[in-house]
Structure 1
Amino acid sequence: MKPTLLLLFALFSSLVAAFAGVGVDQDEFAKNLGGWKKPGKYVDYELSGANYRTYKPESSPTPDGGIFVSIRIDYLRGWLASDDHATLEITVSSKGAIVAAQSTIAIQGQSIASDVIVGSSEAGKEIINPNRTVQIGTDLVSNLTAKLLLENIVEAGRVSFPAVIRHNYNRIFQAIRVEGIAVMTAVAIPDEPIVLPPVPPPAPPAVTPPVAPVLPTTPAVTPAPVAPATPPITPASPTPTLPVTPAAPDPAKPATVPLEIKQY
C-alpha cells in the first residue's frame, strides 16, 4: 500500500510541476511539424522541395520566471554533401509572450546571424501579444533573409532556410503553455515561403541615332570631252618598182671607141 501511495504522490508532483509556470509542449511541437521521426529526439519533414530535420527544443528558466528556448534545425543535403545547420532562439516571458528572438545559419562553416529582435516593454505584461509576436517573427526572417542574400546563396534548400526558421517559429509559438494552457492556437504568421520581389532588369542605354558625317563641299567640275579613239594606222602597200630600161644610143652622136694602147 505504501509503495502505491508514494508512486501516486510522485506522479501528482510531476503533474503539478508540469503545469506550473510557462513551458513548451514538446509532443505538440513535434505534432505540428509532422510527428516524431525518432520519438523524443527529432522530426523530419519536407518544405519547399528540400528535406529538413528539427531536434527537440531545449529550454531553460530565465531570472524573471520565463524560459529561454533553443531549437536546432538541419538542412539534409544528401549522402554526398555536408548538412547545413541553423539555430532558433527565443525568449518567452512568464506570461507566455515571445519577447525576443534570434537565429543563426551555418553554411559550410560560414555563420550568418540575424540581429536580436526585441519586443516592446509591454510584451511581458500580457498573456498574449499576437501583434508583437507576428512583428518579431517578421522582423527576424526579414533581417536574416537580407543578410543571406549578401552571400550570393543560390542552392534552393539554403535559400529556403529563413522560411523554414519561420515555420519553426510559428510551431513553437503554438506549443507554448502557461499553467498547462495553450497561449495561442492560431499561427503567428503565415508559413508560405518568402517570395522576393523580382529585380527589374537595368534599363537599356539610350540609343542615339547615328549622325551622317559632313563631307567637304567640292565644286562641280565639268569633265572634258573625251576624244574618240584614233583607229590604228594601216601601213600603205609598197609600190612595185619597174625595171629600168637602158636608153637607146643617139645616132647623132658618134660612138665612143675606147683608146687602145699598143706596145712597140
Structure 2
Amino acid sequence: MLHTPSGGARTGTAAGPESASMSIGAVLQALRAEFPEVTVSKIRFLEAEGLVEPARSPSGYRKFRAEDVERLAYVLRMQRDHYLPLKVIREHLEAGGEAAAQPPAPVVGPRDPEGPEAIPPAPVVRTGRKELLGLVGAEEWELAEWEEYGLLAPAEDGTYRLGEVTVARLVAELGRHGVEARHLRAVRATADRQLDLVEQLVAPLRRHPDQRTRERAESTADDLVDLSVRLYGAFVESAVQAAGTRGD
C-alpha cells in the first residue's frame, strides 16, 4: 500500500478522487524515501517522455494518483537496478511488462535517516557524453559550445544528469530553428536568478527548529520552481498574444 506524505490522501480511503490526488511536491516526498536523488525536473522529464501521464486541474496543476507514483517508482527502479534506457522501459510498460513483472515495492514517506530502517542512497542515473550526443542528435562541437556558454555542464566524472539531458534536447531543438547558444545565455541567467530567489524564500524553513517544517522546505521549494516555470511560459504566451493583437 502506498503511503503518501502530508498533503495527499492515502489510497483506499473513503476520500474521493479529488482528495486522493497528489501534487508534484507530495510525489517527490514519497519517491525520495527510495530515490533520494529524484527531483521535480526528473519527474517532469519522465512525464515529457510519456512514462507517466498525471491528470491536470482546471488551473493546470498536476494531479498524481497512487498508480502514477508506483509507475514512476517502477521506472526509476528499472533505471537504477538494471540500467535500462527509457525507450526500453517504455516499450516494456506498453507491452504490459509492469503487470507481468514482480510488483514494485511500496513507496513510503520519508524516514528518519538515523533510524534502523533507513534506506541507503540510490545511485544517481547519469548519461555519458557520447550517449547524450546520440540522444539529442547533436555534434561534439555543439555540445562544447553549449558548455562554453554555460547552458549545461557535466558532473566531475564527465557524466550528465537527466536534467542536463532535457536541457540539451531543448537547446538542440531550438538550434534547428536558428536559435544559437549565445542567445540562450540570458535564459539560463534568469533561471539561475529565480533559483536563488527560491532558495532565499525557503532558507528560513530549512533552519526552523521544527523537523516537520524543515521537511516541508523541499516541497515548498519544488512548488515554487514549478510555479516559476509555469509563469515563464505564461509570460511568453501573453507576449505572443499581445504581439498578435498589435499586428491586427
TM-score bracket, shorter-length normalisation: under 0.3
> Higher relative contact order at CA 8 Å, sep ≥6: structure 1 or structure 2?
2
TM-score, length-scaled by structure 1 = 0.24
Larger radius of gyration: 1
Query: Greater strand percent: which structure?
Result: 1
